[in-house]
Structure 1
Amino acid sequence: METALTRLTGVRHPVVQTGMGWVAGPRLVTATAEAGGLGILASATLTVPELRRAVRAVRSRTAAPFGVNLRADAEDARARVRIIVEEGVRVASFALAPTRELIAELKDAGVVVIPSVGARRHAEKVAAWGADAVIVQGGEGGGHTGEVATSVLLPQVVDAVPLPVVAAGGFRDGRGLVAALALGAAGIAMGTRFLLTSDSPVPDAVKARYLAAGVGDVTVTTAVDGLPHRMLRTELVRSLEGQGRARTLLRSLRHAAAFRRLSGTGWAALLREGRAMRHGRELSWGQTLLAANTPMLLRAAMVEGRTDLGVMAAGQVTGVIEDLPSCAELIASVMAEAETVIRDLPGR
C-alpha cells in the first residue's frame, strides 16, 4: 500500500512503531523494519554513546529505513542529532516540538523530520518550521496524552497542514488503518500494539499483566508527574493517588538518585530539567522530580518486570489486545485486513 508516508520514508507499509522508552530498542526496531514498517528507536533512556551503539546495532541487522526519537528539550539534543546525521538514520521523530534550528540542521543533512503533536496549533507551528510530516496522537494513546479523541483531532490537523499526517492513539489492526486513511491520514502509528508482540523486550510477566487488563483497567492520572498520563492502574498508581506531598517528595528523591546513577546525569542537570518541566504548570516539587524521573518508573516495569512498583503506560487499545504476534505477523495481518476492508466497502 503506497501512501505519502511510504513515499517519504521509503518503507513498504504505512505503519509506524513508536519510540517507547525502555521498549523500542534495536530488537523491536529491527523486527519492525524487516517487516516493512517504520521502526523508531527510543533515545531518551539512552546515553549518547549508547544511542550510537544502538543505531549501529539496528543498521547491522537491516538495510531497511528506520528512525530515532529525540527529546527536543534534552541538554544533549544537538549531540544526538549529530549521531543521526553521521550514522545515516533516515527519520528523526520528536516527543516534543523541535526547535526551528534542529529541524533545519536535520533537513540540511537529508533526514526526514516527523514531530509528534497533540494539537492542531502544534502541527501548524512545526509545519511552518519545515517539518516533513507529523504524528498526531489523540487522547486514546498511552503515556502523556491530551483530551481530544483521535477521530476529532486527526481531521483537524489534516485540514490545517499541507503535510503527510500519521494517526496515533487507538490503533491496533487493519480496520483502524482504513479508518485513519478515510480521515485523511497517510498511515498509523502504534505503541501498545508493538509493545505486545513477541519481538518486544518487555518481560513476559509484564506482557501478561497488559493482556489481562480490560478497557476499564486503563486510566488517565496526574498523580505520577502532575500531567495527564494514560497507564494501567497499578499498585503504584493507587499509592501515588493516595499520598501526600511529603511522601511523594521522598519517593521522587529516591527515583532521582537512581536515575542519576544509571544515566550519569548530574544533580544540576536534573534540577534544570525539573525547573523546565515545572515552568507554567501547577506542580509541586515532588511531582516535578517524578516528572523528571518518570523514565525510572517505566524502567521498573519495562526492564525489571516490577508490575507492583513501575509505571505501565498503556493506550486504551490495551483492553482489546489478546495475543503476542511477531512484528512480521502483526504488520502482515494489519495490511491483509486493510485490503479486505477496502475491497468490501460498499461502492468499492
Structure 2
Amino acid sequence: METALTRLVGVRHPVVQTGMGWVAGPRLVSAAANAGALGVLASATMTPARLRDAVREVRSRTDAPFGVNLRADAGDAAERVRILVEEGVRVASFALAPSRELIAELKEAGVVVVPSVGARRHAEKVAAWGADAVIVQGGEGGGHTGEVATTVLLPQVVDAVDIPVVAAGGFHDGRGLVAALAYGAAGVAMGTRFLLTSDSTVPDAVKAAYLAAGVGDVTVTRAVDGLPHRMLRTDFVASLERAGRARALVRAARRAGAFRRVSGLSWPRMVRDGLAMRHGRDLTWSQVLLAANTPMLLKAAMVDGRTDLGVMASGQVAGVIDDLPSCAELVEGLMAQADEVLRDLSAPGTSPRTDMRTGQDRDAGHA
C-alpha cells in the first residue's frame, strides 16, 4: 500500500511504531522495520553515547529505514541531532515541536522531520517551519494526551496542513488504518499495539497486566506529573492520586536524582531542561520536578517489571487487545485486514472478519 508516508520515508507499509521510552529499543525497532513499518527508537532515556550504540545496533539488525525520537526541549538536543546525522538515521521524530532552526538543520542534512502534535495550531506551526510530515495524536493515545478525540482532531489537521499527516491514538488494526486513510491521513502510528508484541522487551508480567485490562481500566490522571497522562489504572496509581502534594514532591525529588544517574545528565543540565520544559507551557516548578520523576516510574514497570511501583502508559486500545503477535505477524495481519476492508467497501452488506495475526477469514469453514 503506497501513500505519501511510504514515499516520504521509504517503508513498505503506512504504519509507524512510536518511540516509547524504555520500550522502543533496538529489538522492537528493528523488528518493526523488518516488518515493513517505520520503527522509531526512543532516545529520551538514553545518554548520547548509548543513543549512538543503539542506532548502530538497529542498523546491524535491519537494512530498512527507521527513525529516532528526540526531546526538542532537551539541553543536549543539538548533540543528539548531530549523532543522527553522523549515523545516517532516516527520520527524526519529536514529542514536542522542534524549533525552526532545528528543523532546518535536520532537513539540510537530509533527515526527514516528523513532529508529534496534539492540536491543529501546533501542526500548522511546524508545517510552516518546514516539517516534512506530522503525527497527530488524539485523546485516546497513551502517555501525555489531550482531550480531543482522534476522530475530531485528525480531519482538522488534515484540512489545515499540506504535508502528510499520520494518525495516532486508538489504532490497532486494519480497519483503523482504512478509517484513517478515509479521513485523509497517510498512515497510522501505534504505540500500545507494538508494546504488546512478542518482540517487545517489556516484562511478561507487565504485558499480562495490559492484556487483562478492559477499556475502563485505562484512565487519565494528573497524579504523576501534574499533566494529563493516560495509563493503566492500578493500585499504585490510586495511591499516587491519594498522596498529598508535599509527599509526592519528596518522592519525585528522590526519583529525579535516580533519573539523573541513569540518563547521565548533570544537575545544571536538568535545571536547564526544566526551564525549557516550563517555557510556553505554564508549568510550576512542582510540575517540572514531577515530570522529571516520570521516567523512573515508567522504568520501574517497563524495565524492572514492578507493576506495584511503576506506571504503565497506555492507549485505550489496550482494552481490546488480547494477543502478543510478532511485529511481522502484526503488520502482515493489519495490512491483510485493511485490504479486505477496502474490497468489502465496494460490496455493501459484508462485514470484515480477518484474523489480525494470520490475515485469514475468521468465518472460513463455518456455516
1:75 matches 2:75: yes
Deviations 1:255-287, CA, capped at 9 Å, x for gaps:
011111212212222233334434565655443
8 Å CA contact retained: 1:250, 1:286: no
Deviations 1:303-328, CA, capped at 9 Å, x for gaps:
00010111100000000000000000
Aligned partners of 2:120, 2:286: CA distance in 1, in Å?
31
8 Å CA contact retained: 1:248, 1:286: no
8 Å CA contact retained: 2:300, 2:307: yes
Aligned partners of 2:68, 2:282: CA distance in 1, in Å?
31
Aligned partners of 1:296, 1:341: CA distance in 2, in Å?
41
- Cα 1:247–1:280 change in 2 (3 A) is farther
- One-letter amino acid of the structure 1 residue matched with residue 27 of structure 2: R
Query: SS state of the match for residue 293, structure 1?
Result: helix
Tell me which residue corresponds to 1:310. 310
TM-score, structure 1 length as denominator? 0.97
1:31 matches 2:38: no
Deviations 1:152-205, CA, capped at 9 Å, x for gaps:
000000000001100000000000000000000000000000000000010000
Deviations 1:206-258, CA, capped at 9 Å, x for gaps:
00000000111000011110100000112221111111122111111110111
Tell me which residue corresponds to 1:226. 226
Q: Across the two proteins, how many residue pairs are aligned to each other? A: 348
Tell me which residue corresponds to 2:151. 151
Tell me which residue corresponds to 2:210. 210
1:200 matches 2:200: yes
Tell me which residue corresponds to 2:103. 103
TM-score, structure 2 length as denominator? 0.92
Tell me which residue corresponds to 1:341. 341
Deviations 1:77-123, CA, capped at 9 Å, x for gaps:
01111111111111110010000111001100111111001111000
Aligned partners of 1:98, 1:280: CA distance in 2, in Å?
13
Aligned partners of 2:159, 2:284: CA distance in 1, in Å?
38
Q: Extract unaligned runs of 5+ from structure 2.
A: 349-367
Aligned partners of 2:102, 2:230: CA distance in 1, in Å?
29
8 Å CA contact retained: 1:245, 1:284: no
Q: Extract unaligned runs of 5+ from structure 1.
A: none
Tell me which residue corresponds to 1:123. 123
- One-letter amino acid of the structure 2 residue matched with residue 219 of structure 1: T
Deviations 1:10-60, CA, capped at 9 Å, x for gaps:
000000000000000000000000000000000001000000000000111
Query: SS state of the match for residue 141, structure 2?
Result: coil
Tell me which residue corresponds to 2:172. 172
8 Å CA contact retained: 2:75, 2:272: no
Query: SS state of the match for residue 13, structure 2?
Result: coil
- Cα 1:129–1:278 change in 2 (3 A) is closer
Shift of 1:126: 0.5
Name whichever of 227-236 and 283-292 sits farther off: 283-292
- One-letter amino acid of the structure 1 residue matched with residue 18 of structure 2: T
Query: SS state of the match for residue 51, structure 1?
Result: helix
- One-letter amino acid of the structure 2 residue matched with residue 122 of structure 1: H
Tell me which residue corresponds to 1:60. 60
8 Å CA contact retained: 1:274, 1:288: yes
Tell me which residue corresponds to 2:363. none
Aligned partners of 1:44, 1:293: CA distance in 2, in Å?
13
- Cα 1:284–1:223 change in 2 (3 A) is farther
8 Å CA contact retained: 2:73, 2:277: no
8 Å CA contact retained: 2:74, 2:276: no
Query: SS state of the match for residue 154, structure 1?
Result: helix
Tell me which residue corresponds to 1:265. 265
Query: SS state of the match for residue 162, structure 1?
Result: coil
1:51 matches 2:51: yes
State the Cα RMSD in Å: 1.3
Deviations 1:130-166, CA, capped at 9 Å, x for gaps:
1000000000000000000000000000000001100
Name whichever of 248-257 and 173-182 sits farther off: 248-257
8 Å CA contact retained: 2:252, 2:292: no
Aligned partners of 2:158, 2:347: CA distance in 1, in Å?
25
Aligned partners of 1:191, 1:39: CA distance in 2, in Å?
11
8 Å CA contact retained: 2:253, 2:293: no
1:112 matches 2:112: yes
8 Å CA contact retained: 1:248, 1:287: no
